[in-house]
């Protein structure tokens, strides 16, 4: 057996359960180093052709970005992309690169790299400031062209027959949706952790995924056979016949278990062993989850991430009717329970990457969530109109993401009032009394939860971001994934105080981050006073079973003691040592 086809087992972080078996398609999108590769005489024209088609593909990509940018940020910003397209169409720029390929007999990447260096040096010497700045555009275009040359194009995924395991250094959520709906059956990603949006999408689509697998894109080539074990966080390259048989058996068992699971009774109220009522709601990202949600028996939708609607219609913004269609579907599926629809949480990584990258140095701390929508009233208005209209069809709860200030709630309410007046004037019917709430996912909001509670009808705690921002740990960064600690005493204290503030104000407090669906944290969350969980539809049944065995009163002093411990490790150990939580933790495994 050659070293390249020897069976290898690689460990990562299991981020979406299940077994997948298929053939690899490798997408390495981060810019790699550019190497000079000599090209034989007879292949020169082929290399020139490769450059030309990369130019065309890059132009198409820029056009897509331009359309979105025009709609979201106005024509002035979109003009930047016109300049990029013009450069790619400029014969002198492309001819120079072609000349290098022919003259130096080198690969297209090297020729782009060298030509761009030379030209940017020349631009830097120009006196005229405007022209000098065009050097940056040139660099930008060259970088995009290089990416196209280095990456693989979209159609290659569909070119591989049968089941595809996508192996990537990093993929943004919109790509994960697109690829997950094609013939991709498993994801293996170098970046990321459990709460990255790409991982969340993998779970939404029910696709097994392992993240944080260092260097895998360099070890695998297209068409290599691979097994992904999402529960164990394991990837097997070139599995032998025995390994394949083992995993095929496990996969078949999983499928028959899924088929045999009966839909849950929706009416049943969940009570803990000592009689505390607990509400279980579901998180929904994609329309294909609505069926699963109904079957789960969850009492409503605790989070619909509406920004994923934008990603589906990208490069066009969803119309009012697009919004209305999905919102109505959700509200009707959830009735009589609430459907909580979060207004766009775009920005950060949840936007065409090209769009924010050039505009913001640190997009996760930038124009994201409610800040972005309040800054783009003409786009927000479309979403708010659709929301109010959809409110006619059931129990609508509207939720603002990434709130950090009271003013944002007031502005959201004012925007809603304005849209309501407009609908009234136009004689368009709409629901008059949606509940208005916010995500608690910024530390500042957690600290002033008692003040915010006076302004809203409900809270939903977003631990994915609350942990990221409180611990200063990027939820998508593999290198600090070990520092992403839901049991950090700072997080537990914050949760305790937010839950108490909500309770004192008499408003519902749910938790809709990934922590809520992770059974290991159930005892401590119940102990902190949480009585409303919003989790993935597939997690509902299990959580229901475990919660019904808990004794909420006995868990309260245990959770309190956890808040006084020094480290997440100590908290974990302490929880394991208490008979009442140890039992649940063992079962949760």
Residues that bind ligand PEP (CB under 6 A): 303, 305, 345, 441, 462-465, 512-513
Helix (H) or strand (E) holding 210: strand 209-211
Dist CA 585 CA 522 (whole Å): 9
Spell out, one character per residue from 399 to 418, where the chain touches Mg ion: x when CB under 5 A holds, - when not. Answer: --------------------
382 with 71: CB under 8 angstroms?
no
Nearer to ligand PEP, 228 or 512 (CB): 512
Dist CA 451 CA 455 (whole Å): 7
Residue 314 touches which member of ligand PEP, Mg ion, none, C-beta under 5-8 Å by kind:
none
Phi, psi of 440 (to 5 degrees): -105, 100
Residue 513 touches which member of ligand PEP, Mg ion, none, C-beta under 5-8 Å by kind:
ligand PEP
Residue 369 touches which member of Mg ion, ligand PEP, none, C-beta under 5-8 Å by kind:
none
Residue 463 touches which member of ligand PEP, Mg ion, none, C-beta under 5-8 Å by kind:
ligand PEP
Residue 305 touches which member of Mg ion, ligand PEP, none, C-beta under 5-8 Å by kind:
ligand PEP
Binding window for Mg ion (CB under 5 A); candidates: 91-99, 417-425, 463-471, 566-574: 463-471
Q: Spot the catalytic one: 84, 113, 488, 512.
A: 512
Tell me if 465 contacts Mg ion by CB under 5 A.
yes
Quick one: three-class SS letters along 7-63?
CEEEECEEEECCEEEEEEEEECCCCCCCCCCECCHHHHHHHHHHHHHHHHHHHHHHH
Phi, psi of 118 (to 5 degrees): -65, -45
Strand partners, 284: 304
**What is the closest distance, in whole angstroms, from the C-beta atom of residue 301 to ligand PEP in the complex?**
13
Nearer to ligand PEP, 224 or 465 (CB): 465
**What is the closest distance, in whole angstroms, from the C-beta atom of residue 427 to Mg ion in the complex?**
37
∠ at Cα 500 (495, 505), nearest 5°? 130
Tell me if 462 contacts Mg ion by CB under 5 A.
yes
Nearer to ligand PEP, 210 or 303 (CB): 303
For ligand PEP, the nearest residue by Cβ is 462
**What is the closest distance, in whole angstroms, from the C-beta atom of residue 329 to ligand PEP in the complex?**
20
Dist CA 79 CA 66 (whole Å): 8
Tell me if 169 contacts Mg ion by CB under 5 A.
no
Three-state DSSP class for residue 568: helix
Nearer to Mg ion, 12 or 347 (CB): 347
Cβ-based burial of 565 (10 A; exposed 0-12, middle 13-18, buried ≥19)? middle
Identify each DSSP E strand in 32-176 by its residue range: 164-168
Tell me if 441 contacts Mg ion by CB under 5 A.
yes
Tell me if 230 contacts Mg ion by CB under 5 A.
no
Q: β-strand 435-440 against 458-461: which pairing, if any?
A: parallel
Nearer to ligand PEP, 304 or 430 (CB): 304
Tell me if 391 contacts Mg ion by CB under 5 A.
no
Q: Spot the catalytic one: 84, 197, 488, 536.
A: 197
How many residues of this chain interact with Mg ion, rule: CB under 5 A? 3
**What is the closest distance, in whole angstroms, from the C-beta atom of residue 208 to ligand PEP in the complex?**
20
For Mg ion, the nearest residue by Cβ is 465
Residue 395 touches which member of Mg ion, ligand PEP, none, C-beta under 5-8 Å by kind:
none
**What is the closest distance, in whole angstroms, from the C-beta atom of residue 465 to Mg ion in the complex?**
4
Dist CA 255 CA 313 (whole Å): 31
**What is the closest distance, in whole angstroms, from the C-beta atom of residue 198 to ligand PEP in the complex?**
11
Nearer to ligand PEP, 272 or 464 (CB): 464
Nearer to ligand PEP, 113 or 536 (CB): 536
Residue 512 touches which member of ligand PEP, Mg ion, none, C-beta under 5-8 Å by kind:
ligand PEP
197 is catalytic: yes
Nearer to Mg ion, 439 or 555 (CB): 439
Residue 422: partners with Cβ closer than 8 Å, 6 or more residues away: 385
286 with 204: CB under 8 angstroms?
yes
* CA 83 to chain CA centroid, nearest Å: 31
* CA 24 to chain CA centroid, nearest Å: 22
For the chain, give percent helix, strand, coil, nearest 5.
Answer: 55, 15, 30
Binding window for Mg ion (CB under 5 A); candidates: 104-112, 212-220, 435-443, 494-502: 435-443
Tell me if 307 contacts Mg ion by CB under 5 A.
no
Tell me if 514 contacts Mg ion by CB under 5 A.
no
**What is the closest distance, in whole angstroms, from the C-beta atom of residue 307 to ligand PEP in the complex?**
8
Residue 160 touches which member of ligand PEP, Mg ion, none, C-beta under 5-8 Å by kind:
none
Nearer to Mg ion, 328 or 475 (CB): 475
Three-state DSSP class for residue 169: coil
CA neighbor of 398 nearest in space, from 422, 372, 366, 432: 432
Dist CA 68 CA 254 (whole Å): 41
**What is the closest distance, in whole angstroms, from the C-beta atom of residue 271 to Mg ion in the complex?**
30
Dist CA 555 CA 30 (whole Å): 46
**What is the closest distance, in whole angstroms, from the C-beta atom of residue 401 to Mg ion in the complex?**
6
Nearer to ligand PEP, 98 or 465 (CB): 465
Phi, psi of 533 (to 5 degrees): -115, 140
Tell me if 175 contacts Mg ion by CB under 5 A.
no
**What is the closest distance, in whole angstroms, from the C-beta atom of residue 241 to Mg ion in the complex?**
44
Quick one: three-class SS letters along 258-320?
HHHCCCCCCCCCEECCCCCEEEEEEEECCHHHHHHHHHHCCCCEEEEECHHHHHHHCCCCCCH
CA–CA distances in Å: residue 92 to residues 89, 120, 160: 9, 14, 37
Q: According to DSSP H, which parts of 305-405 are helical?
A: 307-313, 320-334, 353-357, 369-375, 377-390
Catalytic residues: 197, 512
Binding site for Mg ion (CB under 5 A): 441, 462, 465
């Amino acid at each position: 057996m050659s070293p390249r086809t020897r069976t290898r087992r690689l460990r990562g972080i299991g981020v979406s359960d299940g077994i997948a078996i298929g053939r690899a398609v490798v997408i390495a999108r981060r810019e790699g180093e550019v190497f000079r590769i000599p090209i034989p005489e007879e292949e020169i024209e082929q290399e020139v052709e490769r450059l030309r088609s990369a130019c065309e593909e890059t132009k198409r990509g820029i056009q897509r970005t331009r359309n979105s940018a025009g709609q979201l940020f106005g024509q002035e910003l979109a003009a930047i992309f016109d300049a990029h397209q013009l450069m790619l169409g400029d014969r002198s720029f492309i001819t120079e690169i072609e000349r290098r390929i022919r003259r130096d007999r080198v690969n297209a990447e090297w020729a782009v790299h060298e030509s761009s260096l030379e030209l940017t040096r020349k631009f830097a010497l120009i006196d005229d400031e405007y022209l000098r700045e065009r050097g940056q555009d040139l660099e930008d275009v060259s970088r995009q062209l290089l990416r196209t040359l280095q990456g693989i194009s979209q159609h290659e995924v569909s070119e591989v027959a049968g089941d595809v395991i996508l192996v990537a250094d990093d993929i943004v959520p919109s790509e994960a949706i697109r690829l997950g709906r094609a013939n991709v059956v498993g994801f293996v990603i170098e970046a990321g952790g459990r709460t990255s949006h790409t991982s969340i999408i993998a779970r939404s689509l029910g696709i097994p995924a392992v993240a944080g697998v260092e260097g895998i894109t360099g070890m695998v080539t297209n068409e290599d056979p691979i097994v992904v074990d999402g529960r164990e966080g394991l990837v097997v390259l070139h599995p032998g016949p025995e390994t394949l048989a083992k995993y095929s058996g496990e996969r078949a068992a999983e499928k028959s278990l899924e088929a045999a699971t009966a839909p849950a009774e929706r009416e049943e109220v969940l009570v803990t062993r000592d009689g505390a009522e607990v509400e279980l709601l579901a998180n929904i990202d994609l329309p294909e989850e609505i069926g699963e949600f109904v079957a789960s028996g969850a009492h409503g939708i605790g989070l619909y991430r509406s920004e994923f609607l934008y990603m589906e219609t990208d490069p066009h913004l969803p119309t009012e009717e697009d919004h209305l269609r999905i919102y109505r579907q959700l509200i009707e599926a959830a009735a009589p329970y609430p459907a909580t629809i979060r207004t766009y949480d775009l920005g950060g990584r949840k936007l065409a990457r090209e769009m924010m990258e050039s505009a913001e140095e640190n997009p996760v701390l930038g124009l994201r969530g409610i800040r972005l929508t309040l800054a783009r009233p003409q786009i927000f208005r479309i979403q708010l109109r659709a929301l109010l209209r959809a409110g006619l069809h059931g129990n609508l709860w509207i939720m603002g993401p990434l709130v950090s200030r009271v003013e944002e709630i007031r502005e959201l309410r004012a925007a809603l009032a304005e849209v309501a007046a407009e609908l009234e004037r136009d004689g368009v019917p709409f629901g008059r009394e949606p509940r208005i709430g916010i995500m608690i996912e910024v530390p500042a909001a957690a600290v002033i939860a008692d003040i915010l509670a006076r302004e809203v009808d409900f809270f939903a705690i977003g631990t994915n971001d609350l942990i990221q921002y409180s611990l200063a740990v990027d939820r998508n960064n593999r290198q600090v994934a070990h520092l992403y600690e839901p049991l950090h005493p700072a997080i537990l204290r914050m949760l305790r105080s937010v839950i108490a503030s909500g309770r004192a104000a008499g408003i519902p407090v749910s938790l809709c981050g990934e922590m809520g669906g992770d059974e290991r944290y159930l005892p401590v969350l119940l102990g902190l006073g949480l009585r409303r969980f919003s989790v993935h539809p597939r997690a509902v049944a299990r959580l229901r079973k475990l919660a019904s065995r808990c004794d909420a009163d006995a868990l309260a002093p245990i959770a309190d003691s956890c808040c006084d411990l020094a480290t997440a490790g100590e908290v974990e150990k302490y929880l394991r040592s208490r008979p009442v939580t140890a039992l649940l933790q063992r079962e949760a495994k």
